[in-house]
Amino acid sequence: MKKLLITSLFIIVILTGCSDEGYHNAIQKGLDYIAIEEYQKAEGAFELALEEKKQDAKATALLSQTSNYLEALTAHELDDIELAEGKAQDVIKETEGSEALIKKAEEILSAAQATTTADAVTNHSETMNEDMNIDLTIDEAVEEIERLWEEWEQLGPYTEIEYVGTEAKDGVDYHYFYVGDYDDDLPPYYYGVNSSNGKIYDYTEGYANSPLN
């Protein structure tokens, strides 16, 4: 009986040693694949490590990190900026995984953020170019003033909008209007409308000449 017990313990030790060896070999193989950018093979190696050690934290972290990096890389190549940023951040957050993958994910994140910034600048530039080519007519300028008064409920109803004239400043036409206030005791407002971008300026005495819209 004692001999059988010793034999059983010996077999268990041998099997455990084999399992540990297989686990460590799989982990190292996966890291080696990451180094040469063979990410799908790295996934397979980490899956094998998990077969050797169920629910192992290190293998689980490396597998998750590698899968997320692959998705980030694919999204980046397809110009899916939002997905690339999200998956790259998931890689970076994994503290138990590979430092090499974190550095590679940071490169994707930087590139994605640079693209987002460039797109924002381009869109802003296009919007500015559109705004600078409105060329409002006098009637359209009146509509802008009416829209402003509708949005600014505190102004109360106006009594009339009287066109005064148009003056060019720095190559841009400004249409000027007197806007009668609901309170007859107050002088009318004096507005200038930039015909190139629709901005309305209050030139009434005592008011700052800043855009109202």
Quick check: helix, strand or coil at residue 194?
strand
Rounded to 5°, the CA angle 119-122-125 comes to 150
Is the domain spanning 2-129 CATH 1.25.40? The answer is yes
d(CA 139, CA 84): 48
Indicate the SS3 state at residue 162: strand
pLDDT score, position 38: 94
pTM for this prediction: 0.50
Q: Which pLDDT score is estimated for 118?
A: 56
Dmax (CA) for the chain in angstroms is: 115
Q: What residues does 202 pair with on adjacent strands?
A: 191
Q: Kindly give the parts of the chain with pLDDT less than 70.
A: 1-19, 116-134, 152-159, 181-187, 205-210, 213
DSSP 187: P
| pLDDT tens by residue, 131-162 | 445 577 888 888 887 887 777 655 556 667 88
The residue length of the chain stands at: 213
At residue 4, the pLDDT reads: 40
Q: Which helix (H) or strand (E) holds 202?
A: strand 200-202
Amino acid at 36: I
The amino acid that residue 185 corresponds to is: D
Distance from C-alpha of 48 to C-alpha of 43, rounded to nearest angstrom: 9
- Per-residue confidence (pLDDT) for residue 65, from 0 to 100: 94
CA neighbours closer than 13 Å in the CB half-sphere of residue 1: 0
Amino acid at 165: G
